[in-house]
Amino acid sequence: MVFRLHFEACLLIIIMQKLFENWNKFLKEELNHYNMEVQIKAEPETQLYGSLFNKIRGIEGITIIKSTSKVQKDASGNKFISMNVKFLANPTLPQSTFLQVFKEKMKSLRDDEGDRILNIRVTKLPEIV
């Protein structure tokens, strides 16, 4: 009985030692951070800052958003703003698919009063940061 416990303890130590020696192989998941610039077109009454920015940050993969220009308006009163968006790319998802999903999710967002984003235009393609 004592021999068996000693043998199992030694076996466990060997397994743990191998695990620690190869730690990087087990934890290595390459997640690339990307940066892109987008321009958002929204309805005239849309509140772009505050809760809408928080909803954008809530999109899977998005880590940081930052406006790079002040809100501008077109002749119809629609609002435009340029933003810098940083995100983590899912290694199993092609970049084009991520961008399509991102645009669809952005267009589905609404501010607290129900005003929505009309269009998203990528002005600078994603690049690894």
Note down the domain range covering 117.
Answer: 33-128
- Residue 46 forms part of a structural domain: yes
Residues 46-59 have pLDDT tens digits of: 998 888 899 999 99
**Domain membership flag for residue 91:** yes
pLDDT band for position 27 (50/70/90)?
A: low
pLDDT of residue 91: 72
Average pLDDT over the chain, rounded to an integer: 85
Percent of the chain with pLDDT over 90: 49
**Residues near 68 by Cβ (< 8 Å), separated by ≥ 6?**
37, 82, 83, 84
Q: What is the CATH classification number for the domain harbouring 110?
A: 3.30.70
* Domain-located, residue 24: no
Q: Is 102 within the bounds of a domain?
A: yes
In this prediction the pTM is 0.71
Distance in angstroms (rounded) separating the CA atoms of residues 87 and 94: 14
pLDDT tens digits, one per residue of 69-109: 999 999 999 999 999 999 987 777 788 888 899 999 999 99
pLDDT at 28: 55
